[in-house]
Structure 1
Amino acid sequence: MAELEFERRLERLFAESPELADAGAFAERVERRLNAGWTARRWLIGAAGVVGGVIGASQLMMSGLFQRVETAGDSARFLSTSLNHLSTTTDWITAVSSGGAVVWVAAGLAVIMMGFVLTRVIGEI
Structure 2
Amino acid sequence: MAEVDFERRLERLFAQSPDMPDAQAFAERVERRLDRGWNLRRWLIGAAGLAGGVVGASQLVMSNLFQRVESAEQSARVLSQGLARVTPTTDMVSALSGGYGLWIAVGLAFVTMGVFAARLVQEF
C-alpha deviations, 1:22-66, integer Å up to 9, x for none? 111111111112212222211111111101111111222233332
TM-aligned CA distance change 1:64 to 1:13, over 3 Å: farther
Q: Is the 8 A contact 1:72 1:105 kept in 2?
A: no
Match of 1:46 in 2: 46
Structure 2 segments unaligned to the other structure (5+ residues) = 82-111, 117-124
- Deviation at residue 105 of structure 1 after TM alignment: 6.7
Match of 1:60 in 2: 60
Identity value in percent: 67
- Give the structure, 1 or 2, with the largest relative contact order (CA under 8 Å, sep 6 or more): 1
TM-aligned CA distance change 1:65 to 1:10, over 3 Å: farther
C-alpha deviations, 1:51-101, integer Å up to 9, x for none? 11111112222333321213345x3xxxxxxxxxxxxxxxxxxxxxxxx55
Match of 1:102 in 2: 77
Aligned residue runs from structure 1 range 82-101, under 5 A: 101=76
Q: Distance in 2 between matches of 1:2 and 1:25?
A: 40
After superposition, the CA RMSD in angstroms is 3.2
**What TM-score, normalized by structure 2, do the two folds share?**
0.50
Match of 2:28 in 1: 28
The one-letter amino acid paired with 1:69 is V
SS of the residue aligned with 2:62? helix
Structure 1 segments unaligned to the other structure (5+ residues) = 76-99, 107-120
TM-aligned CA distance change 1:60 to 1:11, over 3 Å: farther
TM-aligned CA distance change 1:101 to 1:43, over 3 Å: closer
Match of 1:90 in 2: none
